[in-house]
């Protein structure tokens, strides 16, 4: 029997594994995290801690499949702009087909009824008119919001079903893959215990699926095969987490949960977008060990009085600059430095007036995250902040009050994506039998498309096993 290494059991790895359960291949799954039953809820959320532990914990760190455990909002629409770029890779119909499979799996394993958020004709008419009047573009999406509280049950139930069908699968939890190197036509995979290393072992595999997420992006660049891949530098999103009253946004929240609204900045021509809305949710820290970002989440049952969402400015760079990830991390570290190690918070009114925020004691909006009051303009480039302020002023035309003086801005909310890797329609790279899926391939940016890329790879492997493993078919170049 052929042997396959699946490295990373996050959103994409889980759905690849689902396709491979019972297939005619011996699958070895490696993940630095513990078994799903042992992955814990955010200790801050549970009131056990007030600040993040010095090491990133398995709840929030992107290396630990954050989105499938944290908020767990799944975009279900095949869109050319939302959730990733698989639309460019496989086209609308093929993408929608796989997203429908993801939807069906999640709903089947949910412990309670989870409504699909789907705007009706009247909602669409309403938002198109409002958005146009505000110089914004609305992008249609349907989504599932599972909530952080339902995430463990759903993921565990999917994995249990895979285990029951997959006598061909061997699990290596708490195991870090140290390196992957080509050995003739095969792959030498070295792994070790994650917590107490020094028991390194090597095994040889015929096929390899890499699904290490954004958290594993730096690791990926260190691997022997990396230089053989066809790659382009990735994109970064520099932004702010906005927290405002849920009263201001209640109409769009009710109609859409999260309307995707894009805006082109007047002064810089940069595209600005909203991302990850959390009506009645909470702002949270996102601990990356050497810097702390902000993020947000919401729950099915426990609610706050606020809404939080990100406003992001996307940047790509041209030669000679090749390290966009370093750029966004440097901005994040400056913001952390000014805040004494964590996130900064500033009132929108203070930012517009060019002064620092000193206290939030009498502020209309009460923060859901304790962050250091300060001045974000000391850390962020003017071009980025100006575009974010323009975006909020435009959004205020749809949700009056959002751009009010008391609205809170948290920084840093920076997202860096791995280099863009050319793959074929089954996520196979130009290195034959090496598949790179999910966010580490840079083709996906959220749970829905990450899971879809896993399904595509699983299908590709099954196809190869059937026809006797020919070399990779035509690659789709990075855009």
Please give the residue ranges that form the binding site for ligand FAD (CB under 6 A): 7-13, 30-33, 60, 62-68, 70-74, 176-177, 211-213, 215-216, 219, 286, 295, 438-440, 445-448, 450
State in angstroms the smallest separation of the CB of 440 from ligand FAD.
Answer: 6
- 130 vs 145, which CB is nearer to ligand FAD? 145
State in angstroms the smallest separation of the CB of 219 from ligand FAD.
Answer: 5
**Residue 249's closest CA among 403, 388, 134?**
403
- 155 vs 424, which CB is nearer to ligand FAD? 155
Cα separation, 232 vs 474, whole angstroms: 18
Cα separation, 283 vs 133, whole angstroms: 30
**Residue 407's closest CA among 346, 335, 354?**
346
- 27 vs 360, which CB is nearer to ligand FAD? 27
Judge whether 421 and 478 are in contact, CB under 8 Å: yes
- 215 vs 458, which CB is nearer to ligand FAD? 215
State in angstroms the smallest separation of the CB of 22 from ligand FAD.
Answer: 21
- 70 vs 235, which CB is nearer to ligand FAD? 70
Does the N-terminal peptide bond of residue 320 adopt cis geometry, omega within 30 degrees of 0?
yes
| Closest-approach residue to ligand FAD (CB) | 10
- 284 vs 357, which CB is nearer to ligand FAD? 284
State in angstroms the smallest separation of the CB of 134 from ligand FAD.
Answer: 25
State in angstroms the smallest separation of the CB of 365 from ligand FAD.
Answer: 22
State in angstroms the smallest separation of the CB of 389 from ligand FAD.
Answer: 25
- 197 vs 470, which CB is nearer to ligand FAD? 197
- 177 vs 389, which CB is nearer to ligand FAD? 177
- 171 vs 395, which CB is nearer to ligand FAD? 171
Question: SS3 for the chain, per residue?
Answer: CCEEEEECCCHHHHHHHHHHCCCCCEEEEEECCCCHHHCCCCCCCCCCCCCCCCCCCCCCCHHHCHHHHCCCEEECCCCCCCCECHHHHHCHHHHHHHHHHHHHHHHHHCCCCCCEECCCHHHHHHHHHHHHHCCEEEECCCEEECCCCCHHHHHHHHHHHHHHHCCCEEEEECEEEEEEEEECCEEEEEEEECCCCCCCEEEEECEEEECCCHHHHHHHHCCHHHHHCCEECCCEEEEEEEEEEHHHHHHHHHHHCCCEEEEECCCCCCEEEEEEEEECCEEEEEECCCCEEEEEECCCCCCCCEEEEEEEEEECCCCCCCCHHHHHHHHHHHHHHHCCCCCEEEEHHHHHHCCCCCCCCCCCCCCCCCCEECCHHHCCCHHHHHHHHHHHHHHCCCCCCCCCCCCEEEEEEEEECCCEECECCCCECCCCCEEECHHHHCCECCHHHHHHHHHHHHHHHHHHHHHCCCCCCCCECCC
State in angstroms the smallest separation of the CB of 75 from ligand FAD.
Answer: 6
- 211 vs 433, which CB is nearer to ligand FAD? 211
Judge whether 150 and 300 are in contact, CB under 8 Å: yes
State in angstroms the smallest separation of the CB of 364 from ligand FAD.
Answer: 27
- 9 vs 389, which CB is nearer to ligand FAD? 9
State in angstroms the smallest separation of the CB of 61 from ligand FAD.
Answer: 7
State in angstroms the smallest separation of the CB of 30 from ligand FAD.
Answer: 5
- 295 vs 422, which CB is nearer to ligand FAD? 295
State in angstroms the smallest separation of the CB of 65 from ligand FAD.
Answer: 3
Residue 305: partners with Cβ closer than 8 Å, 6 or more residues away: 245, 246, 280, 366
State in angstroms the smallest separation of the CB of 313 from ligand FAD.
Answer: 18
């Amino acid at each position: 029997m052929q042997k396959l290494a699946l490295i990373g059991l996050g959103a994409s790895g889980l759905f690849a594994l689902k396709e491979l359960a019972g297939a005619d291949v011996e699958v070895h799954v490696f993940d630095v995290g513990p078994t799903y039953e042992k992955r814990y809820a955010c200790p801050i959320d549970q009131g056990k801690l007030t600040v993040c532990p010095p090491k990133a914990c398995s709840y929030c760190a992107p290396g630990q499949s954050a989105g499938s455990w944290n908020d767990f909002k799944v975009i279900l629409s095949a869109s050319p702009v939302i959730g990733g770029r698989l639309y460019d890779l496989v086209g609308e119909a093929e993408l929608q087909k796989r997203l429908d499979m993801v939807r069906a799996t999640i709903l089947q394993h949910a412990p309670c009824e989870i409504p699909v958020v789907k705007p009706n004709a009247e909602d669409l008419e309403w938002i198109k008119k409002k958005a146009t009047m505000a110089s914004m573009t609305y992008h249609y999406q349907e989504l599932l919001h599972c909530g952080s509280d339902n995430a463990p049950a759903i993921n565990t139930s999917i994995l249990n079903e895979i285990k029951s069908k997959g006598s061909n699968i061997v699990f290596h939890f708490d195991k870090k893959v140290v390196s992957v190197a080509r050995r003739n036509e095969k792959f030498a995979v070295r792994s070790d215990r994650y917590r107490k290393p020094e028991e390194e072992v090597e095994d040889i595999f015929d096929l390899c699926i890499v699904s290490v997420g954004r958290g594993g992006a730096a690791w990926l660049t260190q691997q022997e095969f990396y230089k053989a891949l066809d790659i382009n530098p990735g994109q970064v999103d520099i932004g702010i987490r906005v927290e405002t009253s849920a009263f201001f946004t209640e109409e769009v929240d009710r109609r859409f949960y999260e309307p995707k609204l894009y805006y082109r900045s007047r002064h810089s021509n940069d595209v600005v977008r909203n991302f990850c809305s959390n009506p009645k949710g909470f702002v949270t820290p996102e601990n990356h060990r050497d810097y702390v970002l902000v993020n947000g989440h919401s729950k099915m049952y426990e609610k706050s009085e606020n809404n939080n969402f990100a406003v992001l400015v996307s940047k790509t760079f041209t030669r000679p600059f090749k390290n966009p990830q370093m750029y966004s991390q440097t901005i994040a570290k400056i913001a952390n430095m000014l805040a004494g190690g964590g996130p900064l918070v500033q009132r929108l009114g203070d930012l517009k007036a060019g002064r620092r925020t000193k206290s939030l004691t009498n502020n209309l909006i009460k923060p859901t995250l304790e962050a250091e009051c300060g001045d974000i303009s000391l850390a962020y480039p003017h071009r980025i902040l100006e575009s974010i302020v323009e975006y909020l002023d435009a959004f205020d035309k749809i949700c009056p009050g959002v751009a009010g003086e008391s609205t809170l801005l948290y920084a840093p909310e920076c997202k860096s994506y791995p280099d863009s890797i050319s793959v074929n329609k089954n996520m196979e790279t130009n290195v034959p039998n090496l598949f790179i899926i999910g966010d580490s391939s840079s083709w996906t940016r959220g749970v829905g498309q990450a899971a879809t890329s896993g399904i595509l790879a699983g299908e590709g492997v099954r196809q190869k096993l059937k026809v006797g493993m020919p070399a990779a078919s035509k690659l789709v170049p990075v855009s």
